[in-house]
Amino acid sequence: MSDYKLGLDYALKQDQNDTLRPYRNLFHIPKDKNGNDLIYMTGNSLGLQPKQTKSYVNQELDDWASLGVEGHFEAKNPWLKYHEFLTEQMAEMVGAKPIEVIVMNTLTANLHFMMASFYQPTTSRYKILIESDAFPSDKYAVESQLRHHGFDHKDGLVLWKPRKGEELLNYEDLENILEEQGTEIALIMIGGVNYYTGQFFDLKRITALGHNHGCIVGFDCAHGAGNVALNIHDSGADFAAWCTYKYLNSGPGSLAGCFVHEKHAHRKDLNRFAGWWSHNKETRFNMRGEFDQLPGAEGWQLSNPPILSMAAIKSSLDVFTKVGMEALTEKSKKLTGYFEFLLKNLGEDFIRIITPSQPEERGCQLSIQVKNANKSLHHKLTEAGVVSDWREPDVIRCAPVPLYNSFEDVYRMVEKLKAILND
């Protein structure tokens, strides 16, 4: 969409014509001390709470109160199989098959469980490749895996770096790394959408490159799930994991999602940690039988899951299912494109956007560098009623989320930024 226009009237007209506009009313919008809606641009860090979430959680609290342990079988949503209520919706969200998806644990824990199975180093093939500016917890996790297996984490870590003077990563550089070191790399683990730049990587291309060189390929999709069309099954990736509290609006620290490609669904040769929730459901409560592993992603579970967290996830997924990722990404491209248009209109002497300009190479987030700015700019935006996100050394991350952000939000945010820059 290239026919964007300046002025509030244009933004209001876009909102009037927006078929997703009613969904904003399904969310609690934080307010300032005067009771006015804040301009919330941080769904990439913590998504807003759906209004119905309280009733979903209360349902489980009520069943716990009235049924006690019998809630595992007699609750309105029986707890014994509660995770199954999430599987199909979550699989659709990330473009996977139900057998490939499970909601369990938290993000970094899931990455470690995946690496326990899929990172199988040898003395000659042991290195792990990540992007140089991966989210810190990913770097910590892979470094600890290298050390756990007896390797030097500095020697074993291969970094895919941007070129000098650039922020975005280049696929030719990845190809060159694999040509040079591919026989030494056991695992490639990339963030599906980079948290800092907002660059959405070509998962299928990366997977094909990795597999061509004999590498296992996995993705951290924390900034992709609920934001972009991941199509993770079609990518061919071996595994992936993502949190649910950003674009999936499940609440702070909520459970995470995990993907294991169906080609691994029935592999019992893969090393893994086991627990009773990965045991055959039919004989799970016999207690004294030998371990009988479930097929698919369910076979990586350990413990019975926290129901209250799953209830919040179910609430959000029910909203997503009504909208669909196709409609969400369509609006997202228009909304973020409008945001980019307004920012560029402020003048390139002031503003530099480091997120890719091609819509298919990003989600809704734009990462903004403001000339000669420091964190005081972020503080001024906060005081002006804009909830954004600062990342050192000089980037403000803003994510107009299509489920609850409006064109008017974007317009007013840029107007406030312009006023601060002109002050």
CATH of the domain at 82: 3.40.640.10
Q: In the sheet that 351-353 helps form, which strands lie side by side, from edge to edge?
A: 351-353, 366-370, 395-398, 389-391
- Count other Cβ atoms within 10 Å, centred on residue 320: 21
Do 15 and 126 reside in the same domain of the chain?
no
H/E element, 219: strand 216-220
Position 292 in a domain: yes
What is the reported pLDDT for 388? 94
- How far apart are alpha carbons 364 and 356 in whole angstroms? 11
Do 144 and 19 reside in the same domain of the chain?
no
- Determine contact, residues 188/216, Cβ cutoff 8 Å: yes
Q: Which residue has the tokens 């209250």?
A: 308
Closest CA to 53 of 345, 323, 248: 248
Do 368 and 274 reside in the same domain of the chain?
no
What is the reported pLDDT for 281? 86
Query: What is the residue range of 12's domain?
Result: 8-37+324-422
Position 44 in a domain: no
- Structure tokens belonging to residue 296: 């698919």
pLDDT digits (tens, 9 = 90+) for 340-365: 999 999 987 788 999 999 999 999 99
The total number of structural domains that make up the chain = 2
Do 90 and 135 reside in the same domain of the chain?
yes
Spans of the chain below 70 pLDDT = 1-2
Do 185 and 302 reside in the same domain of the chain?
yes
- How far apart are alpha carbons 10 and 414 in whole angstroms? 14
Do 88 and 234 reside in the same domain of the chain?
yes
- Determine contact, residues 230/220, Cβ cutoff 8 Å: no
Peptide bond just before 393 cis, omega within 30 deg: yes
Do 352 and 378 reside in the same domain of the chain?
yes
Question: Strands, E, within 299-385: which ranges?
Answer: 351-353, 366-370
Position 208 in a domain: yes
H/E element, 244: none
Among residues of the chain, what percentage have pLDDT more than 70? 100
- How far apart are alpha carbons 343 and 31 in whole angstroms? 25
- How far apart are alpha carbons 196 and 368 in whole angstroms? 10
- How far apart are alpha carbons 261 and 242 in whole angstroms? 15
Q: Which long-range contacts (CB under 8 A, 24 or more apart) does 230-233 make?
A: 230/94, 230/95, 230/192, 230/203, 231/95, 231/203, 231/204, 232/94, 232/95, 232/96, 232/100, 232/203, 232/259, 233/95, 233/96, 233/97, 233/100, 233/261, 233/262
- Determine contact, residues 378/23, Cβ cutoff 8 Å: no
Q: How many residues does the chain have?
A: 423
Position 201 in a domain: yes
Do 269 and 200 reside in the same domain of the chain?
yes
pLDDT digits (tens, 9 = 90+) for 208-246: 999 999 999 999 999 999 999 999 999 999 999 999 999
What is the reported pLDDT for 2? 65
The residue from 263, 287, 321 where one domain ends is 321
Position 3 in a domain: no
pLDDT digits (tens, 9 = 90+) for 140-194: 999 999 999 999 999 999 999 999 999 999 999 999 999 999 999 999 999 999 9
Position 260 in a domain: yes
Do 32 and 109 reside in the same domain of the chain?
no
Do 191 and 317 reside in the same domain of the chain?
yes
- How far apart are alpha carbons 322 and 331 in whole angstroms? 15
The residue from 258, 291, 321 where one domain ends is 321
The residue from 298, 321, 344 where one domain ends is 321
